[in-house]
Every structure is written in C-alpha cells, then in structure tokens.
Amino acid sequence: MSKTSNHTVNRQELSRQKWYWWPLFPLYPYGIRKTVFKELVPNQIWSFEQLQGLYYVAVPVRLTVIKTLNGLMLINPLPPTDELLDILHSLEDKHGPVVSIVLPTASGLEHKISMPAMARAFPKALLWVCPGQWSFPLAMPLALLGFPVNRTRRIFNDGLPESQSCEWISLGPLDIGLGRFQEISCFHKPTGSLIVTDALIGIQDKPPELFDYDPTPILFHARDSGDQPLVDTPLLRKKGWARLVLFSSFLKPDKLSIPPVGIILKNSFRPGLRNLKAHFGIYPFVWAKDWETSTAKLIGKNRPLLQIAPVLERLVFPRAKDEFLRWLDTLSKLKGMRRVIPAHFSAPIDFNSRICRDFRRKISLSNWAKSDGNWIFLDSVDKSLLKKGVVPQDPLRAFRD
C-alpha cells in the first residue's frame, strides 16, 4: 500500500486509475490518473477531473457530462480509466446511455488525445469534433488518429449535437501557423450553463481537491531550495499551488530565476531526498522575495477569479483581441446564462450577462498582448515565432488548414 497525507491507496484502486496510452502524450501523472467526480447541477451536469501537466506543473483538466433529451453528452474527453468508466456507467444506469462525445477544440491536444479511447468505450455514441482538426508533427487524417470516421461528425458542417437543448458558439477560427485555433462553446439552455474548453478559466487560492490524493507537485514547488524536505501543511499547500499557477500561466514567471548548476547540485542528493518523488533534490528554481505580489491578478480569494489564460492571450490571441471581444458579445446575449464550466481549474463559476459584459469591458480597456514583468517570456516566444514566419501577422485572414 502507498500512503499519501489524507488517503491510503491500495493496489486495486491504483489499477483502476491506469491509463495505458499515456506515452502518446507523456504528461504528468503519466500512467496513473486519479479522477475526482462532482455533481455540478443536480441530476443534470457532472464533472470528472484529472491532473495533467509537465514536470510537476499539473492543473486539473475536466470532462463535463450533460444529461440531454436522448441520454448523456460528454464534452472534452478524458482518459477513460476503469475508475472513470465505472462512474460514467452508473450515470448511464440512472440517466440513459452516452449518445454523443464532443471534442469542441481544434487545437487542444490534451483534450483530443483521449477521444479515440473514449470512442471505443462507447461504441454506439456519435462523435462530434470541431472542424479543422490537425496533428503535429505529422498531419494525419482523423482515421489514422484513431477516430472511427463512420460515426464522426464535424460541428456546424455536419449539423449540431443535441440542438434541441444546446446552442453552439464558435470562438475563431484563427490561423496559428501550425494549424487553426478554434473552440466551440456549448450553451445548455435548460440549466443556463456555458461549457468552454480553454477560452475562460477561473482560479482560486484553495488547491484543487485532486491534490488531496497526492499533494507532491504543490509541496515540491512550496520549497525554496532542493535540500528542503517536502513538508505537508495547509499553508505550504497554498504556497505551492500559487507558484504552480504562476508557472502554468506564464511558463517562466518574472520572479523566478534559474540558479547556476553548481548551486543546484550542491543542494541535490541530500539524505532523505534521494527519491524520485523529490526529484532527488534537484530543484532548479529560485523565487524572488516578492514573488507573491503577481498572484493577485490570477488567483481569487475563496472564489475563482475569472480570466483569459495568459498563454491564450499572449500566444493565441495577441493580434486577435477583437475576435475574443466579439465572442464575449455573443455570450452576453445568451438568455438565462448562470454559470460557466471551463475544462481547466475551477468549475462552476458564476457567469451571467452582466458579469460577461463587465468582463468584456475590463478586457476591452486592458493593455492587451503585454510585454513586461511576467509577460516577458511569452512575449519573446510570440515575437520569435512571428519573426520566423511560423505565426501570421493577421490570424483572422482567410486561411487553409
């Protein structure tokens, strides 16, 4: 048995969390994916969350399940572990079969990677995908990517999933060089719920429940040097979570520097830290004393702070602010909207026409595509891609995938 701070996990439980296809896109936590299940709207909408990330920078990724007139609709597929499937099957017993599986993003690899496995788990379901699917480094047709083409439909081109109860709203398409960015939001009218993929997120100071099962990533980042042990306290969990949010938002936050190799090695391989969990004490980060100041614009106190993810703003929409505002205009006209359920971080988040209009106003007045402070690294990536001609100057110009 392996033991975490709050939970004892036995072998049988671990085997139900196995994801065999992880080498296709080797993200942390690799072959073992714990699922946290929540009912978001009683008897109508449910959320399945797993962790996904790079090198201990892991954030929750979410599958949303909606009860429709014909059965269950899955939006933003996740790796279908036995644990996840058992819960889904018990929902089917109560609310009807899975009839549609929706991949509403053209570019989000972390969402599309599990679509073929999810399709095999529900062989009678219709698959709906955002148009303009692409793969990298090899451009491959959907059939070769494992999509059963005889039951795969493109949203808008071939119709709409569950159109009696859902409205589908496109953000994009934008030309992002390697392919297109587009995501199609689902507005579920009976519950006033808007389901998005990456376009909006909400982050709060309390670490996500998934870290209760294994807090290692947040405790890892809560330290100040590699020779410190991983200590588990509520305060250190919050500290590590805040740093992890800065990493995932800016990739290289302004208040973070990489120490010389000599210092990293001096602090490594200390007694008690010679294990994989502590990465053998290798901790190549130094945080400036005032690192916490920049979290105020990202992390809400006791409630999720609504925002566009910095990576999306600076790397996908730097020259397409108007398209983002147009999308928000469309959303603000949706009647009866009450909440948004994104595919990352917290959900649900309060979201109605008034909040949407206020948010739009804030974005419209904001300094977009920033290049200072925390934005320096993302700005340098964008400028370099633009200079090399990888991304176009005008992402909204007509393009071919």
Stretch that binds Fe ion, among 129-137, 198-206, 373-381, 385-393 (CB under 5 A): 198-206
Please tell me whether residue 310 binds Fe ion under the rule CB under 5 A. no
Q: Residue 206's beta-bridge partner residues?
A: none
Least separation in angstroms between residue 365's CB and Fe ion is 27
HSE value, Cβ hemisphere, 13 Å, CA-based, for 3: 2
Instruction: Outline where 122-209 has alpha helix (H).
Output: none
Query: C-beta of 222: minimal distance to Fe ion in Å?
Result: 25
Residue type, 379: D
Q: Tell me the C-alpha distance between 340 and 328, whole Å.
A: 12
Shortest Å, Cβ 52 to Fe ion:
8
Options 22-30, 192-200, 327-335, 348-356: segment touching Fe ion (CB under 5 A): 192-200
C-beta of residue 336 within 8 angstroms of C-beta of residue 298: no
Cβ-based nearer residue to Fe ion, 165 or 248: 248
Least Cα distance to 341 among 199, 234, 222, 246 occurs for 199
Pair of tokens at residue 102: 């929706």
Which residue's CB is nearer to Fe ion, number 108 or number 226? Answer: 108
Contacts of 41 (CB under 8 A, 6+ apart): 191, 193, 348
Taking CB under 5 A as the binding criterion, the range among 26-34, 134-142, 177-185, 196-204 that sits at the site for Fe ion is 196-204
Q: How far is the CB of 304 from Fe ion (least distance, A)?
A: 16
Contact 252, 381 (CB under 8 A): no
200/264 with CB nearer Fe ion: 200
Task: In angstroms, give the least distance from the CB of 282 to Fe ion.
Answer: 28
The helix/strand/coil state of 22 is helix
Return the range that interacts with Fe ion (CB under 5 A); candidates 1-9, 47-55, 100-108, 147-155.
100-108
- Taking the least distance from each CB to Fe ion, the nearer of 108 and 202 is 108
Angle CA 227–228–233, to nearest 5? 165
Pattern of binders to Fe ion over 367-396, x per CB under 5 A?
------------------------------
Place of tokens 């148009």: 131
Cβ of residue 28: shortest distance to Fe ion, in angstroms? Answer: 15
Nearer to Fe ion, 162 or 198 (CB): 198
- CA dist 55 and 298 (Å) reads 21
**Total residues interacting with Fe ion, rule: CB under 5 A:** 2
CB of 76 to Fe ion, least distance (A): 8
Residue 256 to residue 99: CA distance in whole angstroms: 47
Q: Which is nearer to Fe ion, 56 or 181 (CB)?
A: 181
Per rule CB under 5 A, is residue 77 in the interface with Fe ion? no
| Under rule CB under 5 A, residue 198 binds Fe ion | yes
Decide: 343 and 62 in contact? Cβ < 8 Å: yes
Helices (H), 130-213: 210-213
Q: Pick the closer one to Fe ion by CB: 245 or 264.
A: 245
Instruction: Name the minimum Å distance from CB 59 to Fe ion.
Output: 9
Token digits of residue 221? 């980042």
Would you say 210 and 237 are in contact if contact means Cβ atoms under 8 Å apart? no
Q: Smallest gap, in angstroms, from Cβ of residue 105 to Fe ion? A: 7
- Cβ atoms 106, 179 nearer than 8 A: yes
- Please select the residue that binds Fe ion; options are 53, 60, 80, 108, rule is CB under 5 A: 108
Q: Which residues of the shown chain bind Fe ion in the complex (CB under 5 A)?
A: 108, 198
